[in-house]
Structure 1
Amino acid sequence: MALSLSFFPIFSVLLLALSHIAGAATVIYDFNITWVRANPDGQSERPTIGINGHWPLPVMTATINDTVVVNVNNQLRNQTTTLHFHGMFQNGTTDMDGAAQVSQCGIEPGSQFTYNFTVKQAGTYWYHSHSSGQYPDGLRAPFIVSDPDHPYKDQFDEELVLSVSDWYHQEMQVLFPKFMSKANPTGGEPVPQAALFNDTQNLTVAVRPGKTYLFHVANVAAFAAQYIWFEGHNVTIIEVDGVYTEKAEAEMIYLSAGQRCSFMVTTKNETSTNYAFVGSMDTKLFDKVPKGFNNNVTGWLVYGNDKALPTPVLVNKFNDLDDFGLVPYDKKPLLPEPDQIITLDVTMGALGDGKPYAFFQNITYVYQKVPTIYTVMTTGEDATNPMVYGEFSNSFVLGHNQIIQIVVNNHDAGKHPFHLHGHNFQTVARSGEEAGDFDSSNSSQINYPAIPMRRDTVVLNRNGYLVFRFAADNPGVWLFHCHIEWHMSQGLIATMVEAPLEIQKSLTIPQNHLDACKAANVPTAGNAAGNTVNVLDLTGANAPPKPLPAGFTARGIVALVFSCISALAGLAVIAWYGSVDMGAASKVAEERRIAEMNQRESRDPVTPVTQATALVELPERSTQTAR
């Protein structure tokens, strides 16, 4: 059985046969991160973040129980960076999770950093920057972990890797200021210019007749979910987000940003025709679809190079599989009643600076002065007090090995793909659209599935709710956030500080962590504000702008913005009038005044009062003449 990977997938999926090595191995990657130039949709070349001078990026691979070492050299010059290995539990290595200012300091330009962790799970993952909304600029690629004991290993012949994504023609450092702006108080997200397969378009995948291919698919997009289907072929899903599932056949699948899956495709026994496969961005996520917008990307299963590449057939309805009904292969039963319930209400709105923000429980996340992992390590017994992590880190302390239930109520009109670091979770309840909040008073009457679907990224429907459970058996600092990069940048993040005293017992902060923080001039001790004397004193902690005055709404902000624009325009006109050269106008007025006085004197001399009145009126007439 061969594992076919796209290491530099510019126009086709490159094949690489790998053999399993007996026992665990150490897999080393040396990543020199630099700017390159790319034009994946053929419409606009732009600066893109590459590795070792190349883009698209290499697909990372390992076998379960391998040790992975990634040596990062940041040569971007103008930006810090990190790497997050999305979906990896990082058991015992929460400091390798790669979330900037949470589990490490950002890697400064010109600095090096080493990630070192053991892979404890197999399946489809990906790696990407977790710093400053950076990965949409290109720092993203799949990460595939092989499994010698794969439950379906005898049912497919080859493995292929396919990423789906969206693409912007401008860099994030250009788009973010426009998005987080007073001129965008309602938070309308930038719409991408293109959809991509393997960070390109018109992808061709050579296949042989009568074979079964296992596709590892990851949505590495900043924003857009995609519907994916293969014309003339059904797909059989066997894994989601690293969790093996019972077989589930589908016409098409839906993957949100951050989600992954594996499915088998069996090719036909003849080679008379090539077949298109399509990714279609979910345009319901967009506030406004631009005129002439193409939300699709097309690839082809190529049975024969001498055959035409057919145009895809138009689809009138998306018949995607509901992932809530997927059954994990291990049939892990529903976890018991929770020891701790966390309720998070999602809202979107503006703060006092007029910019758009996102909130859990009316708190928008702000990165703290001390990365959260270092606060855990340096606050002793107080590490169990969520206060030390700062109000605006939105932190929750989880008890070791307790069952945690998180309820998310969506008070927003958009979908949100929520991702939890360090765990996958049982999705025990999810409403349709417009269902309102979860009724916790009647939760005992809900018919929870006996064997719930598990994954680490799940879609919350608009104005609906989501309920999931997991066991807090992995001490660490784990973010829970929306994986739409725009919403994460708006603060739609919470922090799960899991068993902090256990972290203190088992973790030693590596020296390269401390070196990275020193290079960035970031403190590594104390509470969120850097206070090491009184860790319950949060004076000086980072905070968002103050709330708007009562009564302001997004619509009111829009009206206020345009009123301010109108006022500024009026002031500009006044200033323009004030800049007019009044000397010439005064000379004309004086000449007219003398002429009129001479005329009046020749007819009837004026009294001093009449003359004074005339002197008052003339400047007004002269101003009118100047206009």
Structure 2
Amino acid sequence: MLSWLFFLLTIVSASTKVYDFNITYVDANPDGVHERTVIGINGEWPVPTIRVKRNDRVIINVDNQLSENTSLHFHGLFQNGTNSMDGPQMVTQCPIPPGYQFTYNFTVDQVGTYWYHSHTGNQYGDGLRGFFIIEDDEPPFKYDEELTISVGDWYHKESGELMKKFLSRYNPTGAEPIPQNSLFNDSKNVTMEVKPDTTYFLRIVNMGLFTSQYLKLEHHTFTIVEIDGVYVEPTESESLLVGVAQRYGVLVTTKKSSSKNYRFINIIDRDMLDVLPPDLQLISTNYFVYDKSATLPEAYKGNSEKKYDEIVENLKIFDDFDLIPLSKEPLYDEPDYIISLDFQMDNLGDGVNYAFFNNISYTPPKVPTLYSVMSSGKYGSNVGIYGSNTNSFVIQSGEIVEIIVNNQDPGKHPFHLHGHTFQVIYRSEEGEDDDPIVYDPNNPEHDKLPEIPVSRDTVLVNPNGFVRLRFKADNPGVWFFHCHVDWHLEQGLAITLIESPEEIQKQTVPSNHFDACKPGNISTTGNAAGRTGKLEDWLDLTGEFLQPPPLPEGFTSKGYFAFLICTLVALYGLVTIYQYGMEDIKTVDNEEIMTRLNKLLNDHGALNEEGISLSSNLEENSI
């Protein structure tokens, strides 16, 4: 009786929060170094924080005033019963076209620290991301005041320009764009005024595209009480490592004396960068200010690798694998369904570097996968209708699902699951490039699992290592599982989980979702290729979108040709360096160099496969 009374009281106390978001371009200069166009809301940037309470209904009316598509994803929210509000384009909705309106309408049944961001390309790197806070009226810890802290990497060029160069045959190694800076609360050198002898609850989110961030508040201690919206047993740590899209809730009790101010530093994870530009400041200094009239400690300057090593090597970070959920939920039973994913990166026939799970680079379908489920009727549980390039898996209600990710790559990767938290039941150490550590069911060490595993929705996988995750299929929907380094998602590092198709079909999709599909002529029924009819028609994927074909075996004629040209250009470069190194001139005439190079190429009869002089291509692509 009391439980029913409590339930009725929570429903009565719930409210409806309405947000009108006009998504627009705005000029901003967050790092104080370079002004650029960002994506704001209602003509302002940074974008607003969404702050609600459990059981609140949230309505967000989006008006896309950009010249490009957009969408919104509410990161970490389960969207229980409202899968169509999850946000990733071509997974649960069509993209919102320029000039169109779209409404997200859902009820939150969680508490904790979350965020919202565009799920269209790597658009949130242009600034379309903000906090989504769900307040708890009775949190399991005490504090006096709350602070929100976002960290992330920052690029001076817009995402579309960066992506065009990244996914290019001229970037065959797949080297990620290097950020120009890092941000702390969308700014630099931030001062946060605090009171002495006060306990602050810090909600921390890494909203970057690429790099993890170390955080340290000098001469203070973090007490971790929440990760990814999950309460954990209070655990002290001197510093944090926050992967992209991860969230931490920590308590910090300030000192009794207000005589000094202290540095709050955020540090880019250098190990994730292929190159280190001389102007990139790895260590950024912000401040906890007790006394505005007191001197601030000296900021870290420059890009000293020695100073970086000195600081990072002395960071004492508590391993999130060892955190214990406050719920004390035990290890799930043995899995009913195991999804084993081998992850690599390689080039395909177009020369572009892609990311693969089990040799498949995720390629969006012609019909958003949720709409395929809704229109498929009795064929919904047949995984064959969802496409050969969407890396789809059908799971059923109540199943315990285990995902094994074998990261055969020398980088760290934060993997995120939509619609769920998962138990992190095993995470290997870092492996070697030529000897990655992969899960071996015959290795007893790999089956030593914790009795009470940590639970979260985004996990960092070590370089050349593996991770085992388990979750319960208790939330019908189409859910993305992907790397949250957004460059890697755009390379295809994702799978699609279709959970309980028959239960999904009991949900409804608002009509304005379908309206958004019309301008792009996107079908809202059918399989991944847009086909309907009998079973054989649903299984016919002719015309679906596919990844490019593989590179031909061996060294092709194109390869020989490219090798010849590279050799000639290199030889000419050496001659030019010698010639101009011996002359007392300050500039080099680009026209003269191209003339000489053209002559060199023509002397060797250098023609490409279409019979066009390569020298003209070189001129066209010269910088």
TM-score by length of 1: 0.85
* Change in 2 beyond 3 A, CA 1:359/1:207: same
Residue 69 of structure 1 aligns with which residue?
59
Q: What residue identity is the alignment partner of 1:454?
A: S
Q: Give the drift of 1:451.
A: 0.4
Q: Distance in 2 between matches of 1:66 and 1:532?
A: 39
Pick from 538, 544, 552 the counterpart of residue 541 of structure 1.
544
Q: 1:141 aligns with which of 130, 133, 150?
A: 130
CA separation of 1:561/1:134 partners in 2, compared to 1, >3 Å: closer, same or farther?
A: farther
Within-5 A mapping of 1:449-528: 449-504=450-505, 506-528=506-528
| Mapped partners of 2:601, 2:473: distance in 1 | 64
Which residue is 1:383 aligned to?
380
The answer for unaligned runs of 5 or more in structure 1 is: 1-19, 580-627
Distance in 2 (alpha carbons) for counterparts of 1:484 and 1:24: 36
Aligned counterparts of 2:561 and 2:335: Cα–Cα separation in 1: 46
* Residues 1:333 and 2:330 aligned together: yes
Q: Which amino acid aligns with 1:383?
A: G
CA contact (8 A) 2:426 2:446 kept: no
Q: Deviations over 1:223-275 (max 9, x none)?
A: 01000010110110000000000011001000010100100000011111111
Report if aligned partners of 2:338, 2:402 keep a CA contact under 8 Å in 1: yes
Structure with the greater alpha carbon radius of gyration: 1
Counterpart of 2:598 (choices 572, 575, 588) is: 572
DSSP 3-state at the match of 2:516 = helix
Provide the secondary structure at the position in 2 that maps to 1:335.
Answer: coil
Q: Confirm or deny: 8 A CA contact 2:11 2:55 kept in the other structure.
A: no
State the Cα deviation string for residues 428-480 of structure 1 (Å, max 9, x = none).
00001005100123469722100000000000111110001000000000000
**Whole-angstrom CA distance in 1 between matches of 2:342 and 2:562:** 28
| 1:168 aligns with one of 155, 161, 182 | 155
Mapping for residues 57-206 of structure 1, pairs under 5 Å: 57-76=47-66, 78-152=67-141, 155-206=142-193
Distance 1:25 1:53, change over 3 A: same
Q: 1:150 to 1:174 in 2, by over 3 A?
A: same
Shift of 1:295: 1.4
- Contact between 1:418 and 1:481, CA under 8 Å: does it hold in 2? yes
Distance, in Å, in 2 between the alignment partners of 1:445 and 1:47 is: 48
Deviation by residue 1:174-214 (Cα, 9 ceiling, x = unmatched): 11111111111110001100110111111111111000000
Q: Distance in 2 between matches of 1:272 and 1:22?
A: 48
| Kept after mapping to 2: 8 A contact 1:185/1:558 | no
CA distance in 1, matches of 2:385, 2:495: 15
Distance in 2 of aligned mates of 1:557 and 1:178: 21
Q: What residue is the counterpart of 1:342 in the other structure? A: 339
Q: Report sequence identity in percent.
A: 50
Deviation at 1:567, TM superposition (A): 7.2
1:426-437, aligned counterparts within 5 Å? Answer: 426-434=423-431, 436-437=437-438
Structure 2 Cα separation of the partners of residues 338 and 150 of structure 1: 32
**SS at 1:177 equivalent:** helix
Q: Distance in 2 between matches of 1:575 and 1:292?
A: 37
Gaps of 5+ in 2: 1-9, 301-306, 570-593, 606-623
Matched residues in 1 for 2:418 and 2:561: separation? Answer: 40
C-alpha offsets along residues 150-173 of structure 1, whole Å, 9 cap, x if unaligned?
A: 111xx2101111100110000011
Say yes or no: does 1:421 pair with 2:418. yes
Residues 550 and 47 of structure 1: CA distance in aligned 2, closer, same or farther (over 3 Å) = same
2:224 is the alignment partner of 1:221: no
What corresponds to 1:604 in structure 2? none
CA distance in 2 between counterparts of 1:472 and 1:578 reads 64
| Matching of residue 322 in structure 1 with residue 319 in structure 2 | yes
Compute the RMSD of aligned alpha carbons: 2.2
Does the CA contact (< 8 Å) of 1:241 and 1:457 recur in 2?
yes
C-alpha deviation, 1:288, in angstroms: 1.1
C-alpha distance after superposition, 1:356-380 (max 9, x if no partner): 1000000000011000000001112
Say whether the 8 Å CA contact 2:202–2:249 is kept in structure 1.
yes
1:532 partner amino acid: T
Q: Check whether the contact 2:441–2:447 (CA below 8 A) recurs between aligned residues.
A: no
**Mapped contact 1:66–1:119 kept (Cα < 8 A):** yes
1:108-139 alpha-carbon deviations (Å, 9 max, x no partner):
00000000111111111000000021100000
Displacement of 1:56 in angstroms is 0.7
TM alignment of 1:388-407, pairs within 5 A? 388-407=385-404
Structure 1 residue identity aligned to 2:188: Q
Give the whole-Å Cα distance in 2 for the aligned partners of 1:559 and 1:93: 54
* Structure 1 pair 250–366 and aligned structure 2 pair: CA distance change class (3 A): same
In structure 2, the partner of 1:212 is: 199
- Cα–Cα, structure 1 residues 59 and 560, in superposed 2: closer, same or farther, change >3 Å? farther
How many residues are treated as equivalent by the alignment?
Answer: 554
Partner of 1:31: 21
The DSSP-based 3-state class of the residue aligned with 1:377 is helix
Partner of 1:615: none
Query: Whole-Å Cα distance in 2 between the matches of residues 563 and 134 of structure 1?
Result: 39
Q: SS where residue 175 of structure 1 aligns?
A: helix
